Chain A
């Protein structure tokens, strides 16, 4: 914010009648804003600006290629060599992007170059509406930069107007004859696309404006924190009184953004930031903000996670092998393209794959894509994905970048019932490639699952013995024992319960069980109760009470004595014997005496 104030102070001395100035009589004017918005020529129903749903895909290689992929027909409309260096902006019958040092417009019908405009200075961003292209550039020096917002005729490339700004402009957005330009991250200037006249401005008083964007039914602006619908209420300048959406995003996905940052030069082109995106749609009308479909989705590299309004994961999709490099919410579908050229469409409510096509990229990796597919709804229904499998895939991904989202996946898995989930969690513990931090998370959630359906998997895990010949080793005995013990409160199948006790006894008797794990085993046996569980505890106490190493393990001594005492009157006699017998280690005897006195 300090930066803005400083810039504002500098600009205040500039004077003049520049469109982009610090003071304006029509800042946050609801009537002016309503009037400006009414000027937009909008389609009655959501539809692509170019008429048919397309993905404009840029592939790497020398030369790069721009491919127009017809989503409904699942085939490329055209594929041309084009040195695309920016995002592709889609107009009515043309597309525009920076190619090399030029702004190049191509015909949407065949990809042929329609016109070129040399870019003077640095490209900041481009947008297009039905008839015109708009581009923001930066010229001058670092000490005295000037930004220009330039309008060009989509058909001829003729420059219609050019407006300078001594304050920083972000990438523009355009819609139905209006062009919107974020200014100094504090204003959103709204200009008449035909003349360049400023119609009004929104001045944000409590947050930055780092992007402006459009869907076919509304225009939006926002920041990393929130997204605001450009309606009359936006003229209040405050997020609280505007129609504002702030999706609840799990902390592990906090890098995800609503839209590319219009002030970030890197994000003027396709970049890694496109792989961490909040995919959302909100109602274009109505007093209150409402996420369509009851939530949002987050594209996170190979994964897409559907979130409900509380931020909880409601479905997960894991794309095989390669990352999804671009994605968009069309309203009826989540469209995405992978680095390998696969184009998919997911159901926003369930994550079901409703469409899947392979783009022929000639083997070249996809760099990025722009979707012009508003309202596109694939014909296929698709089967909802196995969220469990997807979450497991996420959790077991070996890419170190994903530690945070892996934790989220594990946490989400923990809330899902079923034996397989427990098995998958155990498999993560057994996998030596699972990071120590993630293992801690898995251990934490294992006991909290409280799902009797997982008991067979837990019993199986406890049944593994350390054996150098077989190469087996039990995993996380303590955590598994805790998970079993936690189930004691629930009604359990008697056979399974007996099997659980047997498995716990096996680990209690195993020399490989660490002292720490043994504490959990003792607690679990005590919790499960029953004669079968009590007897080995008595034996354990009798045999180990004489062992100096056991006596050093305070927690294990306490657990064993307490569990034995809790078993009944006969066991009290046993503890009394332990307390009094000369063979008993002093520390054990002391604890036994204190326990008896309680």
Chain B
């Protein structure tokens, strides 16, 4: 692999994979801070990566995929470098997807250039893995690509993008998530719920009539389940759900009741209970 890197050095330096590779080759990269932290906390002892690295770039794709997954459990810089190196010079889709997941477990700035390449990969699984991985990188280009991927043709990739937006807490993605909400896209609810504060929850609730009732109910229901969401705002969310017709809205409130202990008493829970009872008694949206 060293030979390959030397041979490819000049050629790769000019490509858009090049920044990562050039940086990696100019000098052995210092272990990323996150990787150091992970190494310190990990129960898995860093081991020699040689065999895994060799399997990763070997001709056996299944072995490469396993190696890719295993290397992600190794927080050592050498493991990270092996993943980055292999991805930079090309991995089969079956191995690339786990390699991307592994890479993002110990994110380093140099990874972004490689992730951006794979975020446009023709294989849906590879693309989804790369897009999902972007959420671990506080990088403007990663953010831009992640938000853009919300418009991907493939549902799986949109879901990955939504998870990246949520993970990265990229508020720039909210408008596009709202657009997906209006389309009833399943990618929107978890991400919007994760990003929501009281104001965003209010904005989401205002999509009643634009967004499909079921998707809206699911989204607001997910917000309700967030332990960190403030109680006063939860009450507003409950009332917003009450206005949504259909079983999904009732289900969202029922889920909230089931997930929330009766004590200490909460206004939002009491309100939800009343609404559910009314609905089960034959009442509709309020």
Q: Chain A: residues with CB nearer than 8 A to chain B?
A: 465-470, 505, 509-512, 531, 534-536, 538-539, 542-550, 570-571, 573-574, 577, 581-584
What's the Cα separation between A273 and B139 when bound, in Å?
A: 68
Which among B90, B121, B151 has the highest number of chain A CB atoms within 10 Å? Answer: B90
Shortest beta-carbon distance, A551 to chain B, in Å? Answer: 10
B155-188 CB contact bits vs A (8 Å, 1 = yes)? 0001000000000000000001001100100000
Known: A573-B8, A573-B11. A547 touches B153 (CB 8 A): no
B15 CB–A CB distance under 8 Å: yes
**For B12, what are the chain A residues with a Cβ–Cβ distance below 8 Å?**
538, 542
Known: A469-B176, A469-B179, A543-B117. A571 touches B11 (CB 8 A): yes
Nearest B residue to A575, CB-CB:
B11
What's the Cα separation between A569 and B183 when bound, in Å?
A: 51
Q: Is the CB of A543 within 8 A of B121?
A: yes
Which among A550, A571, A574 has the highest number of chain B CB atoms within 10 Å? Answer: A574
**For A583, what are the chain B residues with a Cβ–Cβ distance below 8 Å?**
57-59, 64, 89-92
Q: Is the CB of A466 within 8 A of B17?
A: no
Q: Is the CB of A549 within 8 A of B122?
A: yes
Which among A467, A512, A531, A583 has the highest number of chain B CB atoms within 10 Å? Answer: A583
Q: Is the CB of A466 within 8 A of B15?
A: no
Listed from nearest, the 10 A-B pairs whose CB atoms lie closest are: A467-B151, A582-B59, A509-B120, A535-B15, A546-B92, A539-B15, A469-B151, A535-B14, A542-B90, A570-B11
- Interface secondary structure of B, over-half rule: helix
Kindly identify which residue among B14, B57, B123, B152 contacts A538, using a CB–CB cutoff of 8 Å: B14
Q: Chain B: residues with CB nearer than 8 A to chain A?
A: 4, 7-8, 10-12, 14-18, 57-59, 64, 88-93, 96, 117-118, 120-124, 127, 148, 150-154, 158, 176, 179-180, 183
What's the Cα separation between A538 and B7 when bound, in Å?
A: 14
**For A512, what are the chain B residues with a Cβ–Cβ distance below 8 Å?**
153
Q: Is the CB of A547 within 8 A of B4?
A: no
Q: Is the CB of A468 within 8 A of B153?
A: yes
Q: A536-B15, A547-B92, A547-B123 are in contact. List 15 more A-B contacts (CB 8 A).
A: A469-B151, A510-B120, A512-B153, A534-B14, A535-B15, A535-B18, A546-B92, A549-B123, A570-B10, A570-B11, A573-B7, A574-B11, A581-B4, A582-B57, A583-B92
**For A544, what are the chain B residues with a Cβ–Cβ distance below 8 Å?**
90, 122
Shortest beta-carbon distance, B191 to chain A, in Å? Answer: 13
**For B15, what are the chain A residues with a Cβ–Cβ distance below 8 Å?**
535-536, 538-539, 542
**For B179, what are the chain A residues with a Cβ–Cβ distance below 8 Å?**
469
Q: Is the CB of A469 within 8 A of B117?
A: no
Q: Is the CB of B120 within 8 A of A577?
A: no
Known: A535-B16, A536-B16, A577-B7. A543 touches B90 (CB 8 A): yes
Known: A470-B151, A543-B117, A548-B92. A511 touches B14 (CB 8 A): no
What's the Cα separation between A466 and B12 when bound, in Å?
A: 28
Which among B59, B118, B150 has the highest number of chain A CB atoms within 10 Å? Answer: B59
Known: A573-B8, A581-B4. A511 touches B180 (CB 8 A): no
What's the Cα separation between A466 and B153 when bound, in Å?
A: 7
What's the Cα separation between A582 and B64 when bound, in Å?
A: 11
Q: Is the CB of A574 within 8 A of B90?
A: no
Q: Is the CB of B158 within 8 A of A539?
A: no
Kindly identify which residue among A531, A549, A574 contacts B8, using a CB–CB cutoff of 8 Å: A574
Q: Is the CB of A511 within 8 A of B57?
A: no
Shortest beta-carbon distance, A552 to chain B, in Å? Answer: 12
Which among B15, B18, B151, B158 has the highest number of chain A CB atoms within 10 Å? Answer: B15
What's the Cα separation between A432 and B16 when bound, in Å?
A: 36
Kindly identify which residue among A511, A550, A570, A577 contacts B4, using a CB–CB cutoff of 8 Å: A577
What's the Cα separation between A577 and B183 when bound, in Å?
A: 46
Shortest beta-carbon distance, A174 to chain B, in Å? Answer: 70
Q: Is the CB of A542 within 8 A of B122?
A: no
**For B4, what are the chain A residues with a Cβ–Cβ distance below 8 Å?**
577, 581
**For A550, what are the chain B residues with a Cβ–Cβ distance below 8 Å?**
122
Shortest beta-carbon distance, A181 to chain B, in Å? Answer: 70
What's the Cα separation between A140 and B88 when bound, in Å?
A: 92
**For A465, what are the chain B residues with a Cβ–Cβ distance below 8 Å?**
148, 151
Kindly identify which residue among A467, A468, A509, A574 contacts B117, using a CB–CB cutoff of 8 Å: A509
Nearest B residue to A532, CB-CB:
B14
**For A584, what are the chain B residues with a Cβ–Cβ distance below 8 Å?**
90
What's the Cα separation between A546 and B86 when bound, in Å?
A: 11
Shortest beta-carbon distance, A540 to chain B, in Å? Answer: 9
**For B120, what are the chain A residues with a Cβ–Cβ distance below 8 Å?**
509-511
Residue pairs across A and B with Cβ atoms less than 8 A apart, 9 shown, are A469-B176, A511-B122, A511-B127, A531-B14, A538-B12, A543-B121, A549-B123, A571-B11, A582-B57
